[in-house]
Amino acid sequence: MGTTMGQDALVVGLTGGIAAGKSTVASMFHELGAPVLDADNLAREVTARGSETLRRIAKELGEQILDRAGELDRKALGRLVFSDPGARARLEAIVHPVIAGAARERIEELARDGHSVVIYEAALLVETGRHREMDRLVVVTAGDAARIARLMARDGLDRAQAEARLAAQLPQRQKAELADYVIDNSGPLAQTRARAESVWRALCADADRRSGNP
């Protein structure tokens, strides 16, 4: 893997299966001093009400994905794309290039500000092939039972719906096989934090070697 996105910064992709806990790990990296770019937040920015991207989505998928205020109804959109792979593919074809462009700009800004490591958190990093643009890839994993329970509690889904969302994604084993570092989030939070700290130290060392620092 490699990138010119960050110029002098080591760009680290952070991903994992749905409800594995990648956002939890992202928060840990942030606490350790890493700037973290969240693809979901970028997606909200580029699909804001009145944006060209939102207009294209509504034209492609229908006005039912908008709420009464003309903003993106994320729950309605989620129901649609998880039940219709074709709709999901059309959505991704519109949104992913725009998010990628926004991410590239932010990463370059952070590199210019002197950050040697930048974390880019994205759920579909491997599925979209964008993991190949990263200098390193960190994959967060957790057991399926834990992930299903988290989804049911977090999103108010029944078991069948939660299982369907897991099935809609690439198996996490395949993501882990591509990773430079794997963080297992199946156990106690303290265990996850210890592993995150270890990975962060390794990433900082990678960045130092890349820049020629002893």
Domain residue spans of the chain: 10-211
Which pLDDT belongs to residue 144? 94
CB atoms within 10 A of CB 101: 12
pTM of the model: 0.86
For the chain, the average pLDDT equals 92
Q: Per-residue pLDDT for 95 more than 50?
A: yes
**Average confidence (pLDDT) over 69-76:** 94
* pLDDT mean over 26-54: 96
Higher pLDDT, 178 or 1: 178
Instruction: Flag whether pLDDT at 7 surpasses 70.
Output: no
Give the DSSP letter string of 40-86: HHHHHHHT-TT-HHHHHHHHHH-GGGB-TTSSB-HHHHHHHHHH-HH
CATH architecture of 10-211: 3-Layer(aba) Sandwich (3.40)
Residue 4 has pLDDT above 50, yes or no: no
